[in-house]
Amino acid sequence: HKPAIYRTNQITIPPCTPYPAKTCPVSIPGVRLRSAYSVERAGALMLLAILSPVIAVIAIIICVLSRRGPLVRHTRVGWQGRPLRMLKFRTMWDAAAPRTDFCLVEDVTSAPPISKQDHDDRINSRFARLCRRYSFDELPQLYHVVRGEMSLVGPLPITRDELDTHYPDCADEVLSLRPGITGLWQVMGRNNLSYATRRRLDLILVRNASVPLYLVVLLRSIPAGRLLKKCLTGQRRRRKRLLHI
């Protein structure tokens, strides 16, 4: 039985071949990993400065809609097993629950859902659904990239329980790269992926780390690109309907 090859319009992912955890080729070919991360941190700082007006507007809208602080903080397992207190915009709140004291950042201790579901009762705003659909809620994580705690492209940030349950035999490999704001798991299925498929894609990303793969995943993760793809898909469907009339 041959391992499956994942294909999209722009990405062909090779089969996931085994590597010992200690000898996994995590360095980017032709570029020293430390230098690559330095360039990435500088780029994230520029993005953070350029997008600061957008981030401020999103934060204000969330404050008005939820009557709570705009940011929440999740605890994840970071690079080399270090704890990562990951920031995100608040997109879920219980409208019937009493208002808590306003604070800029609220720690969230509940376990993450298996996938981002828009039909959760706590997502009671169209704006929150928009933020989740196009990953605007993850913009604060650029701060972690600037600090060197995350990468723009990398494995999925996971909790300790998820690591012990779904990555018991490959934890060293997954934690050898910084967790990413985006990755193969996001551009190749996102909400429709099982934990087994997410694990496989994380390992493929770690074992096949390269500049071309990094750039393709990064470009396909841009919300504007996904919006454009959605518009083009809608135009094709309308043309097909007209041809059948």
Of 203 and 234, more confident: 203
Query: What is the distance between the alpha carbons of residues 84 and 156, in angstroms, rounded to a whole number?
Result: 13
C-alpha R_g of the chain? 19
β-strands 71-77, 83-89 pairing: antiparallel
pLDDT on residue 212: 87
Of 189 and 90, more confident: 90
Answer whether residue 216 shows pLDDT above 80: yes
pLDDT on residue 219: 85
Answer whether residue 163 shows pLDDT above 50: yes
Which range among 7-11, 12-16, 100-104 has the greatest average pLDDT? 100-104
Task: Give residue-wise pLDDT tens across range 99-140.
Answer: 665 666 777 765 555 455 555 667 778 898 888 888 899 999
Query: What is the distance between the alpha carbons of residues 177 and 150, in angstroms, rounded to a whole number?
Result: 9
17, two tokens: 């071949």
Query: What is the distance between the alpha carbons of residues 85 and 108, in angstroms, rounded to a whole number?
Result: 10
Q: Which of 35-39, 76-80, 150-154 has the lowest average pLDDT?
A: 35-39
pLDDT on residue 59: 92
- Scored b (16 or more CB within 10 A) or e, 65-94 reads bbebbbbbebebbbbeeeebebbbbbbbbe
> Across all residues in the chain, what is the average pLDDT?
76
Q: Which of 104-113, 154-163, 184-193, 233-242 has the lowest average pLDDT?
A: 233-242
What would the mean pLDDT of 12-19 be, rounded to a whole number? 45
Query: What is the distance between the alpha carbons of residues 91 and 137, in angstroms, rounded to a whole number?
Result: 7
pLDDT on residue 2: 43
Phi then psi for residue 76, to 5 deg, are -130, 170
Task: Give residue-wise pLDDT tens across range 16-74.
Answer: 444 333 333 333 443 455 677 788 999 999 999 999 999 999 999 998 888 888 898 99
Q: Which of 46-50, 84-88, 114-118, 169-173 has the lowest average pLDDT?
A: 114-118
**Are 163 and 171 within 8 A, CB to CB?**
yes
The 3-state secondary structure of the chain reads CCCCCEECCCCEECCCCCCCHHHCCCCCCCCCHHHHHHHHHHHHHHHHHHCHHHHHHHHHHHHHHHCCCCEEEEEEECHHHCEEEEEEECCCCCCCCCCCCCCCEEEECCCCCCCCCCCCCCCCCHHHHHHHHCCHHHHHHHHHHHCCCCEEECCCCECHHHHHHHCCCCHHHHCCCCCEEECHHHHCCHHHCCHHHHHHHHHHHHHCCCHHHHHHHHHHCCHHHHHHHHHHHHHHHHHHHHHHC
pLDDT on residue 10: 44
pLDDT on residue 58: 94
Q: Across the strands, what pairs with 151?
A: 180
Answer whether residue 87 shows pLDDT above 90: yes
Of 131 and 241, more confident: 131
What would the mean pLDDT of 74-86 be, rounded to a whole number? 92
Answer whether residue 8 shows pLDDT above 80: no
